[in-house]
Amino acid sequence: AQRVTQPEKLLSVFKGAPVELKCNYSYSGSPELFWYVQYSRQRLQLLLRHISRESIKGFTADLNKGETSFHLKKPFAQEEDSAMYYCALSYSGGSNYKLTFGKGTLLTVNP
């Protein structure tokens, strides 16, 4: 069965420090992975998708199939990065694709 694991519920760093939010997945097929961000009281916003290999707001994520990981990284955290981050896997469990989410990591960037 497909599963997404975010081992850290809370992560606190200082401004300017590097940050890494961990995500591991379990899926027998070819994974489509995403990072979503949810700022306080706002909607879930797509941050990254692995197939595009893009960098958004300084964040990057590399799919490591050997380690089944899709960790989110940023070299220098900013206060405005404080938010809830969800790793998600798009999979087909029947006739359609859908997302399964990790439990999320609350990132706090302190001044």
Partner 1 sequence: EPEVTQTPSHQVTQMGQEVILRCVPISNHLYFYWYRQILGQKVEFLVSFYNNEISEKSEIFDDQFSVERPDGSNFTLKIRSTKLEDSAMYFCASSITGTGDYGYTFGSGTRLTVV
The one-letter amino acid at 96: N
Contacts 24+ apart (CB under 8 A), 22-25: 22/69, 22/71, 22/105, 23/61, 23/69, 23/70, 23/71, 23/72, 23/87, 23/102, 24/67, 24/68, 24/69, 24/70, 25/68, 25/69, 25/70, 25/87, 25/89
What is the smallest separation between the CB atom of 86 and partner 1, expressed in angstroms? 7
Q: Is 64 or 92 the residue whose CB approaches partner 1 more closely? A: 92
Q: Is 75 or 93 the residue whose CB approaches partner 1 more closely? A: 93
* Rounded-to-10 torsion of CA 70, 40, 56, 11: -40
What is the smallest separation between the CB atom of 54 and partner 1, expressed in angstroms? 11
Interface residues with partner 1 (CB under 8 A) are 32, 34, 36, 42-46, 49, 51, 86, 88, 90, 92-104
What is the smallest separation between the CB atom of 97 and partner 1, expressed in angstroms? 5
Q: Is 96 or 111 the residue whose CB approaches partner 1 more closely? A: 96
Q: Is 27 or 101 the residue whose CB approaches partner 1 more closely? A: 101
What is the smallest separation between the CB atom of 50 and partner 1, expressed in angstroms? 11
